[in-house]
Structures are given as C-alpha cells and as structure tokens.
Chain A
Amino acid sequence: MRKISWKTEFRNILVFMALAAVPGFFFDILPWTLLLVAVGYLGWFIRQLWQVQEWLKDGANSYPPEAHGLFGAVLDDLYRQQRIGRAERQQLEADLKYLEDSYTSLLDAAVMLNEDGAIRWFNKAAVDYLGLRYPDDTGLLLITLLRNPDFIRYFESGNYHEYLQIPSPHVEGMYLQIHITCFGEGSRIVLARDITETNRLQQMRKEFVANVSHELRTPLTVINGYLETLSDHADADEIMRRRAIEQMLIQSHRMENLIKDLMALSRLEVSSTIAEHTAIALRPMLEIIREDVLAAVNKKCEIAIECDDNLLLEGNPSQLHSAFANLVTNAAKYTADNSQVIVKWYKDESQAYLSVGDNGDGIEAHHIPRLTERFYRVDNSRSLETGGTGLGLAIVKHILLHHEAELKIESQLGVGSTFSCVFPLMRVHQQAHSA
C-alpha cells in the first residue's frame, strides 16, 4: 500500500511537471512554469502538513482530515496505530483498575511506596486503619505519618522477615500486624492487618489460666499454712485448733465454690440450648433470692422487689435462679453499708427486663465491656474481702445467652449501677388470671 502511494505521488509530480513543461517549452519560459508547479506543490504539501498538525494538536481523537496521495497513506497509518494504541491503553487501564480494585477490596491495609519511601497508592483499609487521607497523602513519606518508633526502626532496618505489631495510630485500642514486601527496584508494599481480636483472645486465654491457678492457690496456701502450724504444734490448745479448722473450712469452701462455678460455666458452654422450658412466676424465685442474699451478706442492706405478677418467663428455673442470684448478690456485696437494691421485673412494647439496680460507687465506663470476662476485676484488692470467684457475671452472661437474652450494664460513678437482663418478648407470657 505504501509503495503504491509513493509511486502515485511520483507519477503525479511527473504528470504535473510534464503538463507544465509543454507550454513552458513552447513559450520559452520553461524554468518559470516548472517553478510555478514546484511552488504550487509545496503550497499544497504545506497545507496538508498543517492539517495533519492541527489534527494531532487536538489529540487526534476525531477522524483524520481528508487527505490525498502520500499524506492520505501517512494519515491512515497514523490513525491505525492510534487506534491500536488506544485499545491497548484501555486494556491496560482496565487491568490496572482490576488490580487496584482487588487491592482495595482487601481487608488488610495496603500502602505502595516508591524507592524513597513516599506513598504512591493505598487502599480503603489504609484510610481506616492508618488514618491516611486520599488523595492528599500520596507523595508524602510514609514514616512522617506512621511515626511509631518501632515501625520506623522496622521500616529502616530493611529486614522484613518477621512481622511487627504496633498499635494503630488512628483507632484507639486497635492492634496492627505489619508486614513489608519489596518489589521492583526498591519499591515496597506495606501491609497492615487488624489483629485486635486475636490479640484479645490470646490475652484472655493467658489471663484465664493465670487467674485460675492464682485463685486456687490462694486458699490452698492458707490451708497449707494452718496444717503446717498444726503439725508443728501438736500440743496446740483447743481454741487455736478450732480457729485453724474454721479458717481451713472457709478456704476449702472457697475452692469448692470456684470449682463449682468453673464446672457450671463449662457445662453451660457445652450445652447450647436448654431442654426444659417452663413458664416461671418470678416473685417466689426473687423472694427466695432475697432471703438467701440477706442471710449471706452481714451488713445493713435493703432489697426491694417490684415485680409484675402477670408476667411469666419461660426458661430453665435453676439456671435463671443462679443468674438472678448472682446479680442480686453482686449488688448487695459491692455496695457500702446501707445499700439499697431494687429488683424490677417489667416489660415494654419490645422487650422484658429483669433489672437489678444499686446505689453503690458505680463502675468506670472502660471497665463495663470487660465485666463479663472471667476473673475480670474492677479492683483487684477486693477479691479477698468479698470472696467472690470472679466468675459470676460470666455465668450470668452464658445463662442469658441460652435464653436469647442479653445483659445490659449501665453505671454512673457515685450514683450506682443497673444490671438488666433483657429478654425477648417471645420468652414472656401474660398470665390471664391473677394468682
């Protein structure tokens, strides 16, 4: 094709030249006519060139201008190249977008850095976890925004075989696992994974084992101490022996309680649903609980019961008894003298509530989400005086789970706390006749 247009081009020039040469020859002005043809050809040539240039200047998006001869061929070729190029570019852009989308959809934060450590690109999770801002932060050095000293050390060490754990600079309480990979010529990808939950579970497991052994060892130490004293002083008098035995009894009861609670918990965890459902009237149960608690707490304490007698709760009586007893005991125990505890059983349009309110010191807000963890204590010094096992609320939580209910804790420092068991209405029956 190209050859043909070169040929036609030469032929056209020759034809024009010949046409101009004939009159020039006759009138003896041959150089002038030839010059005229040459100038005309040059003008046409320049015009075409100008059109091509205009077309290219516009970005060559439209069809190329109409052109003849050589220019037509050149433009055709150019246009074809352009089309291929555009298609390729679109394909590449689509591929790139696809890749970027795949990174964007990652749950891990991903930040791409160039060889200087400046940010080139990052995904949505990086915005959430690291607090980067899109697109303002592209071009900034990552270490100027992620300033954790451990991270900077890790980043600059160049040794990325191990993972690094740092707290998120953006989200309070979130922990990130950082991993860096190198690619290309000095470019790097920084990946950050949210490991808050795993961390918390590991921590809880560690604490659980440590706590169980600690709680069991304390009473055992006391018992051991008395036993050693008794065996060293075989001639100890009656009063001393009696006191020792009393103390040992208290401690062994404590251990027994603890083991009972642990077993109750593990039983609750194993069985996911309860077999026996009965409709229970709560007033008798609450009154028994009141008597028990008042007998157990040796201080001035009032427990008021406000109970809607027409409301029956469907569930496992012994489990519910232990859950409510736990809450009432806590309320009575962890308040100072003259404590007033109000137990209410009522419902509204959407749910039914058994709430236990007290007028104690209240609980600081940051403790509340952790209260139902095993052995979690707001104040470590209290475990000894009150003799709790630290498992009560964990048991309550599990029992309520079995009844599709949840535990809601509201507390205000210096005013008091309210623990509410919130039951779904399907667990509640209206009693038609009053008892």
Chain B
Amino acid sequence: MERELQNHISQQYDNDLDQVRAHLLEMGGRVENQVRDAVRALLEADSEVALKVKSDDDDVNDMEVSIDEECARIIALRQPIATDLRLVIGISKIVVDLERIGDEAGKIATQAINLSEMVDSPRGYSEIRHIGNHVTYMVRDALDAFARLDAEMALSVAKEDKLVDQEYASAVRSLITFMMEDPRNISQILNVIWTLRSLERVGDHARNIAEHVIYLVKGRDVRHVGLKKMAEEVEKG
C-alpha cells in the first residue's frame, strides 16, 4: 500500500495529481449523497428531494467533463509513467462509473416521483430500504478504498456486490408473487422493481470502482476474473 505517491521534481505535477484526486472524490461525495437522497425520497414519498436529486445530476455531469479534461491535460503535459499513469487512467475510468451511478440515482428519483403519486400500500419498500443501504455503503467504501489506496477494502466491496445480486434476485421473486396475487398491483410493483434494478446497477458500478482501485494499487487488471482470482492478486502484494 503505497500511501505517498513519490514526489516529483516538479511540485506542480504533484499538485495536479492531488487536485484531480480530490476533485474525483468530491464528485464521489456528491454521487454518494444523490443515491442516499434518492432512496430517502422514495421511501418518504418526498418529491421535493427527488427533484433536487435530478437537478444535482447536471452538476455531476459537469464535474465528469472537467475531471476528464484534467486527466487529458496531465497526460498531455506530464506524460506520466508507472504509478502516475495508472492513477490517471484509473481516475478517468472511475469517473465514468460515478457518472453512471449518478444517472441511476436520477432514475430512482424519477420512480420516487411516480410512486409518491400512488398512495397504495408500499410493497417492496423494505427491500428497497435494505438494498439501498447496502449499495450506499458499497459506494462509500469503494471511494474510501480509493482515497486510502487500500486494495483489501476494495476487494471486500467487490465481494459485497455478490450479496447485493442475491438480495436483488430474491426481492424480485417475492415481488413477482405479489403481482400474481393481484394484477392491479402490477404497475406499482414494476416501479419498485425498476428502482431495485437501479440500485443493483449502483452496486455493480461500485464494484467496478473497486476493481479500478485494485488496478491502480496493484497494477493488475482484475476485471472479469472472478472473486477468487481477485483475492489472490490482492494478497500477492
């Protein structure tokens, strides 16, 4: 775990790298909040919060563009190598996943607005609450892992994703039985399922971020390799 990226002769270069990292994490903080607020808006039928989540998405998109620009500028001006290059590449990949998470939060907010107009008994909300909490923590931990360049923490995030997938599958199964019981529920439950689907996607993106973190700490690409292999790579050091 190399905490301090080694110092360069050019102080400005170090500053640039620190800056882009800080900007990415700032964007991460925004996105974390978006997900949390979107879930809260849905559970509390608070369409005002939902609208704010949607409007925040524009800021997040702007941040994505400006971070990408920063990365391109660093590559062009400094021609980074080794760790620095991995950092810059990692950041420009993580930024994409963060932006997607923001999009999913926006979709959840849309469902929150739809569902707030249906006053029926909220079926499936406990699943939304549960999975929502779970993926919010995953996003937080993935970003913490990036801030600390902690490959082990990233690995545990990747493992969590498996649990979320299982929870998602079982939630959908139980919601399907509700739909079969009473077809009048279908439109409402579909909204719930889309929300769950978005949350599950957020979990996937958190896992992607974790994989990028492992890449930039360990220098090994662990996408599509399975958890066991990933754990080996992390332990190799």
Contact = CB atoms under 8 A, between A and B. Distances in A.
Interface stretch (A43-51, A145-153, A179-187, A265-273): A145-153
A413 B33 contact: no
B229 interface: no
A69 interface: no
Contacts of B150: 136
Q: Is the interface of A mostly helix, strand, loop or mixed?
A: loop
Nearest to B27: A147
Interface stretch (B81-89, B141-149, B157-165): B141-149
Contact of A148 (B33, B126, B129): B33
B139 to A, nearest CB: 10
Given A381-B119, A413-B126, A147 B148 contact: no
Given A144-B147, A145-B147, A172 B133 contact: yes
Contact of A133 (B30, B140, B148): B148
Interface string A106-137: 00000000000000000000000001010011
Given A141-B18, A364-B126, A136 B148 contact: yes
Nearest to A166: B33
A379 B119 CA distance: 11
B22 A144 contact: yes
Interface residues of A, number: 23
Interface bracket on B? 20 to 34
A169 interface: yes
B80 interface: no
A366 interface: yes
B140 A149 contact: no
A141 B22 contact: yes
A143 B22 contact: yes
A140 interface: yes
A139 interface: yes
Nearest to A137: B148
Interface of B: 3-4, 18, 21-22, 25-26, 28-30, 32-33, 119, 121, 125-126, 129, 133, 140, 143-144, 147-148, 150
Interface of A: 131, 133, 136-137, 139-141, 143-145, 147-149, 151-152, 169, 172, 364-366, 379, 381, 413
8 contacts: A133-B148, A136-B3, A140-B147, A145-B147, A169-B140, A365-B126, A366-B129, A381-B119
